[in-house]
A and B are shown apart, each in its own frame.
Chain A
Amino acid sequence: MLEWWDFGLVMRLRTALLISALAWPCAGAGKTSLTPEQRRLNIESFEYVWTTVRDKHWDPQLGGLNWQAVHDELRPAVESAATMEEARAVMSGMLARLNQTHFGIVPSDVFGAMKGTGKDDLSGENGEGGPGMDVRVIDGRALVTGVAPESPAAAAGVKPGWEIVKVDGKPIAEKLRLIERKESDSTLLGFTLMESVAARLAGDVGTPVKVEFRDGANRRVELSLDRARPRGMEAHLGNLPPLRFWVEERKVRPDIGYLRFNMFFEPDALMAAVTRIMKDCAGCRGFVVDLRGNPGGIGGLATGLAGWFIDRAGTQLGTMYLRTGQVRFAVFARPEPFHGALAILVDSCSASTSEIFAGGLQDLKRARVFGTRTAGAALPSMFERLPNGDGFQYAIANYISQGGKKLEGSGVMPDEEVKLTRRALLDGNDPVLERALAWIETGSN
């Protein structure tokens, strides 16, 4: 049995933490000084991180980076770090020198609060609650792109297309401009912007967040929204913090199936949903897999899901290149795969396993991709705990899609670029889905 772990969601978690630390430093955040034992564990963790990259990175040359020099430069900094935050910043800084996604440090306090506390992990004190809104930054404005059913936001009447102007009294626009300036060249810009807003909205379950919106008529609407338990079932995998997973499957037209899920986890639940919709949709002319906002997850699920749409033995989505060899992302066709047209919807927040799935099926000319360029963060990675208790994510392989494209740093380019607009959202339209449906109904042959 061989499996690989992709954990795009951890990247999302880490990005959120970094963003919240960079853009909105918490007032009075505790910075306690270290005991000699903590200092020792930080040094041990630093060495572990450095050695892991040296020994496990797929490129022994690290793209020409003098890793020993990085070690020698930064080791004194971790030795003299007076707080956990400083020590963590040294290790994060070391990993940042690689200039690749899927390398990072997740602080132990956040990680520990979400796992192994013995408490109901999502019932509070963990920052996982939210008002139940999907957000994207479109043309410099933080827009609500979706409202979770039965969420505090839904109950308060928040609608897609509303603009988030302030969170807890703090304006958002300037912070977004700052990020846009710093990340303008990165495929991760959209992802980072979304996370910067989402991190601000997130907090302990049951606590309120004050949000100032601009509604459809551009009127100022100020709401105090309770943060609720995120939608979905609790999912556990290894050292990862508990996550929330949901999947929805339905027919969007009498002859078109639709599948959307928030991340590539919970194989049993995901595949059960796929099995249901495939059975229901056996005679359908088309199918839509909506990966917008899906940050990835278990890498193997990309091929597992692709098996429902491929009927050719020996097919693969791409190859991961480890230091010690290569592993193909082989697809095993299901006994009765779907043969109709396949549309995949993506956006700048589709990352990792989502990109492997979309990019691979696009390369194989099995699917047409709609939306906007994906996050370009597609390195298979692992997640470990460090001696100091922090989480450590590191990529173990490079990934090349079946068409020879390196997805890291470039992402999947849609066949048809379709952008969301505030007007469309306010009108209750989904131009990306609509374009995909039109293609299935008229032009897919």
Chain B
Amino acid sequence: MKRNAITKLAMCVAALAPLFAADTLPKAEAILDKTIEAEGGRAAYEKLHSMVVTGSMEVKGIGIKGSMTSYHAAPDKMLVEVNIQGIGTIRDGSDGKIAWELSAIQGPRLKDGDEKALALREGDFKGMVNWRDHYKQVVTEGIVKIDGKDCYKLVLTPNEGSPETQYVDKETNLPVKTEMTLKGPMGEIPVEATIGDYRKEGDLMMPHKTIQKAAGQEISILFDSVKFNVDIPKEKFDLPEEIQALLKKQ
């Protein structure tokens, strides 16, 4: 009888555990602010007006490799150029208003809807420093283990688009993984990106390795150089002719 009572009590306590956990979890807002600090702090971000990142990418298993360079300029300009042997060049850009892609395979296209919203968020030079401008709701959902480490699981609901799940290392406060569903012309495609190999670049901690899994493919992206406050020619972010032609057609 006594044993039954203890078991029952244990079950009740176990059932209550998530509530306690939820109560004791830090607010997502606080975690995101700590993340900014862990990355170097707002002051460090404020000193920057541009960034150029170079690296390489590889599709796992099938030997498809390429090089990439991304250009970023405050407040909201971004251009990513990927060159893959046998595939050609893929350029992806946004300027705060227009998001586009120009690929050797598919030609030019303008992004729309959720896909555009995501591209514009990613094009914000201050990125997560400005998270309050981009997300209408952020919630801490719990603590999960990723690669043996406790991580906060945050669900971020953007002003436009589908929620994103972000995992932040409890100890370092640095993001280690994101999950989202990309909604675009190709459908709704779940994408998972594991982020790691943080290194200090200037005053900031920057991830140098991302492994992205989507649609049965695994793509690893390695950054080998990060340069801040580079003078990027303004024309670099000009819309390509083909994109301008699409805009004219609209």
Query: Judging by beta carbons under 8 Å apart, are B86 and A237 in contact?
Result: yes
Residue of A nearest to B219 (CB): A1
Which stretch, B48-56, B147-155, B182-190, B199-207, touches the partner chain A?
A: B182-190
Say whether A2 contacts B214, CB under 8 Å: yes
The yes or no answer to B21 lying at the interface (CB within 8 A) is no
Min CB gap B60→A, angstroms: 9
Q: Hey, what's the 0/1 contact readout for B85-99 against A, CB within 8 Å counting as 1?
A: 111101010000000
Cα A201 to Cα B189 in complex, Å, equals: 45
Asked if A339 is at the interface (CB within 8 A of a chain B CB), the reply is no
Q: Of A56, A327, A335, which one neighbours B108 at CB under 8 angstroms?
A: A335
Contact of A2 among B109, B215, B248 (CB under 8 A): B215
B206-225 contacts to A, CB under 8 A, are 214-217, 219
**Binary CB contact string for chain A from 298 to 326 against chain B (1 if under 8 A, 0 otherwise):** 10110110010000001010010011111
| B88 & A396 in contact (Cβ 8 Å cutoff) | no
Q: State how many residues of chain B have any CB contact under 8 Å with chain A.
A: 38
The CA-CA distance from A266 to B104 in the complex, in Å, is 9
| Cα–Cα distance between A327 and B187 once the two chains are bound (Å) | 6
- Provided the pairs A2-B217, A396-B216 are in contact, do residues A235 and B86 lie with their beta carbons within 8 angstroms? yes
Any chain B CB within 8 A of the CB of A254?
A: no
B112 to chain A, nearest CB (A): 9
B24 within 8 A of A: no
Question: How many inter-chain contacts with C-beta < 8 Å in the A-B complex?
Answer: 109
* Minimum C-beta distance from A374 to chain B (A): 22
Looking at the assembled complex, report how far the CB atom of A158 sits from the nearest CB atom of chain B, in whole angstroms.
32
Contacts A303-B106, A335-B249 known; A330 to B185 CB distance under 8 Å? yes
Answer whether A239 and B63 are a contact pair too, CB < 8 Å, given A267-B87, A327-B189. yes
Contact B90 A1 (CB under 8 A): yes
Determine whether the beta carbon of A271 is less than 8 Å from that of B189. no
* A262: min CB distance to chain B, Å: 15
Query: A residues within 8 A CB of B90?
Result: 1
Cβ 8 A contact of A237, one of B61, B64, B82, B108: B64
Q: Which residue on A lies nearest to B80, using beta carbons?
A: A1
A383, CB-defined interface residue at 8 Å = yes
A268 with B108, Cβ < 8 A, contacts A324-B215, A326-B187, A335-B242 known: no
Chain B residues, Cβ within 8 Å of A285 = none
Could you say which residues of chain B place their CB within 8 Å of the CB of A304?
A: 103, 105-107
Nearest CB of chain A from residue B99's CB, rounded to whole Å: 14
- Chain A nearest CB, measured from B41 CB (Å): 32
Known: A236-B86, A322-B215, A335-B108. A327 touches B62 (CB 8 A): no
Give the nearest-CB partner of A380 in chain B. B216
4 shortest A-B CB distances, which residue pairs?
Answer: A237-B86, A335-B245, A239-B63, A330-B185
22 CB contacts below 8 A, A to B, read A3-B59, A3-B87, A4-B215, A4-B217, A5-B64, A56-B216, A238-B62, A238-B63, A266-B86, A267-B88, A267-B104, A300-B105, A323-B216, A325-B215, A327-B186, A328-B185, A330-B185, A330-B186, A334-B108, A335-B245, A335-B246, A335-B249
Residues of A within 8 A of B (CB): 1-5, 56, 235-240, 265-268, 271, 298, 300-301, 303-304, 307, 314, 316, 319, 322-330, 332, 334-336, 382-385, 396-397
